[in-house]
């Protein structure tokens, strides 16, 4: 526990009558009852049933503070480290339970003032000198200051550790959800509970373009419920219920600030790795210009492209086989014939539609189609070959910059 600061010793305090400490100690239990009741009455956060661990902790805290006050009277030089340690732990406990420091400090002030009023009556009944009574009042406030300071230090330490631990647990949860292989829902639920992350029905994974020194952008995303890992390559985040999360959408827009990103498809929470795989693939295709380079790309809008480039060696073999006839013409002629053939296949063999699509005369389309008939023959009318041609030509068109 950190050393206490700001609690001055008062060697000039007038001596206390020996019988005062003994009398106050005899009244301690009764005073503790009344102080505890007053705290519950005035501080709503502490207005809970007295039974159970919570009630026992509150009672123990009150007794410890009163004991500290009486010990001050009996022996001003007494080592009060144990009492301070108790309140340090009390502060830690309040933070870990998610209660506010304001409520704890209010309880200490209310309890301290009420205890002083009760014990002050006893001092007056003994006929003590006004100087002694004033010193007792100062001592009461000093006691409250000591325990409040110790509790605040414990609270701050727990918040720091809790924040760091929570971040570590959420990172482990993200790693679990995005691991290779099957993910057990029970394991997700257990770790999510300890990470204070409500398990959603669906998720999507976002892959981000790398950008150094941008860690601050994960704060609004984490606050919106996303699990964020900006240190992975590529940086990634897991979004809960992406199709219905308006809060996340606002945080996402704020955080990206124009940074390219790919959003994987929406999947069940235990299938998050599938969303990651496609988001990562889409981000790589963005970098190559096969998908829009800037802005946010949604995988759901580009599934055919992701399918085509899911196995590029296989795609290259397909292109080599079905597009081989085009290798017999010049490069310029090849590009024109490939463009016309793809448009013709996609338009259902409708020449006027092809002409409109390519901004050329229908007669030009017919001329090119006669060339294609010579190159491909009857294969142009075979359904399986037509499908292979569409796939091969579509992949080629993605790699060819528009005119």
DSSP string, 23-45: HHHHTHHHHHHHHHHHHHHH-GG
Confidence at residue 5, expressed as pLDDT on a 0 to 100 scale: 37
Confidence at residue 320, expressed as pLDDT on a 0 to 100 scale: 94
The CATH architecture annotation of domain 200-309 reads: 2-Layer Sandwich (3.30)
Question: Cα–Cα distances in Å, from 122 out to 72, 114, 118, 127?
Answer: 16, 13, 7, 9
Report the pLDDT averaged over residues 288-310: 92
pLDDT at 80 over 60: no
Tokens of 97: 């339970």
Q: Give the DSSP letter of residue 4.
A: P
Record: fold of 321-399: Arc Repressor Mutant, subunit A (1.10.10)
Using alpha carbons, select from 304, 273, 295 the residue that is nearest to residue 203: 273
**Among residues of the chain, what percentage have pLDDT more than 70?**
80
pLDDT category at 301 given cuts 50, 70, 90 is: very high
State the Cα–Cα distance between residues 261 and 252, nearest whole angstrom.
10
What torsion do the CA atoms of 182, 186, 188, 193 make, to the nearest 10 degrees?
A: 180
Report the pLDDT averaged over residues 106-128: 74
- Tokens 């600030």 correspond to what residue? 257
Q: Give the residue extent of every domain in the chain.
A: 18-162, 200-309, 321-399
Tokens of 232: 């992975």
Confidence at residue 326, expressed as pLDDT on a 0 to 100 scale: 94
The reply to whether CATH 1.10.490 applies to domain 18-162 is yes
Tens digits of per-residue pLDDT, 5-15?
333 344 556 66
Tens digits of per-residue pLDDT, 353-402?
999 999 999 999 999 999 999 999 999 989 999 999 999 999 999 886 55
b/e code 16-55 from CB counts within 10 Å (16+ = b) = beeebbebbeeebeebbeebbebbbebbeebeeeeeeeee
Confidence at residue 8, expressed as pLDDT on a 0 to 100 scale: 38
What torsion do the CA atoms of 351, 352, 354, 357 make, to the nearest 10 degrees?
A: 180
Lowest-confidence region among 14-23, 195-204, 345-354: 14-23
- Tokens 């196995």 correspond to what residue? 311
Neighbouring residues of 275: CB distance < 8 A, sequence distance ≥ 6: 203, 204, 205, 264, 265, 266, 267, 299
Tens digits of per-residue pLDDT, 45-58?
777 665 555 566 66
Tell me the longest C-alpha to C-alpha distance in the chain. Answer: 123
Question: Residue 312 CA to chain centroid, in angstroms?
Answer: 35
pLDDT category at 254 given cuts 50, 70, 90 is: low
98 or 269: which leads in pLDDT: 269
Strands, E, within 247-381: which ranges? 261-263, 267-268, 296-298
Lowest-confidence region among 90-104, 167-181, 208-222, 339-353: 208-222
Confidence at residue 6, expressed as pLDDT on a 0 to 100 scale: 35
Tokens of 220: 């609004």
Question: Residue 171 CA to chain centroid, in angstroms?
Answer: 9
Neighbouring residues of 41: CB distance < 8 A, sequence distance ≥ 6: 47
């Amino acid at each position: 526990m950190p050393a206490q600061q700001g609690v001055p010793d008062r060697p000039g305090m007038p001596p206390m009558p020996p019988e005062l400490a003994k009398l106050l100690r005899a009244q301690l239990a009764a005073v503790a009852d009344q102080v505890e009741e007053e705290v519950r009455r005035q501080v709503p956060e502490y207005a809970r049933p007295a039974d159970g661990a919570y009630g026992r902790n509150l009672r123990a805290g009150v007794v410890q503070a009163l004991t500290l006050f009486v010990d001050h009277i009996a022996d001003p030089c007494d080592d009060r480290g144990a009492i301070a340690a108790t309140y340090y732990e009390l502060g830690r406990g309040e933070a870990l339970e998610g209660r506010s420091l304001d409520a704890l400090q209010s309880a200490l002030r209310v309890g301290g003032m009420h205890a002083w009023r009760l014990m002050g009556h006893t001092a007056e009944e003994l006929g003590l000198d006004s100087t002694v009574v004033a010193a007792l009042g100062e001592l009461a406030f000093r006691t409250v200051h000591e325990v409040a300071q110790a509790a605040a230090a414990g609270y701050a330490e727990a918040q720091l550790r809790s924040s760091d631990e929570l971040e570590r647990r959420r990172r482990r949860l993200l790693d679990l959800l995005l691991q290779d292989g099957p993910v057990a829902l029970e394991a997700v639920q257990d770790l999510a509970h300890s990470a204070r992350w409500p398990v959603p029905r669906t998720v999507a994974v976002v892959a981000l373009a790398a950008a150094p020194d941008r860690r601050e952008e994960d704060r609004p995303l984490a606050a919106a419920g996303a699990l964020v890992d900006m240190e992975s390559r590529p940086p990634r985040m897991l979004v809960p219920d992406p199709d219905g999360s308006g809060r996340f959408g606002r945080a996402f827009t704020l955080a990206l600030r124009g940074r390219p990103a790919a959003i994987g498809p929406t999947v069940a929470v235990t299938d998050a790795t599938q969303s990651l795989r496609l988001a990562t693939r889409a981000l790589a295709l963005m970098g190559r210009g096969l998908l829009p380079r800037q802005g946010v790309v949604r995988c759901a809008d580009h599934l055919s492209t992701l399918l085509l480039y899911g196995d590029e060696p296989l795609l290259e073999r397909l292109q080599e086989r079905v597009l081989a006839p085009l290798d017999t013409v010049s490069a310029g002629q090849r590009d024109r014939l490939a463009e016309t053939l793809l448009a013709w296949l996609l338009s259902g063999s409708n020449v006027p539609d092809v002409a409109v699509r390519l901004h050329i005369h229908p007669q030009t389309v017919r001329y090119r189609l006669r060339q294609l008939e010579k190159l491909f023959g009857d294969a142009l009318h075979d359904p399986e070959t037509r499908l292979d041609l569409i796939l091969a030509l579509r992949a080629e068109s993605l790699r060819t910059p528009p005119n």
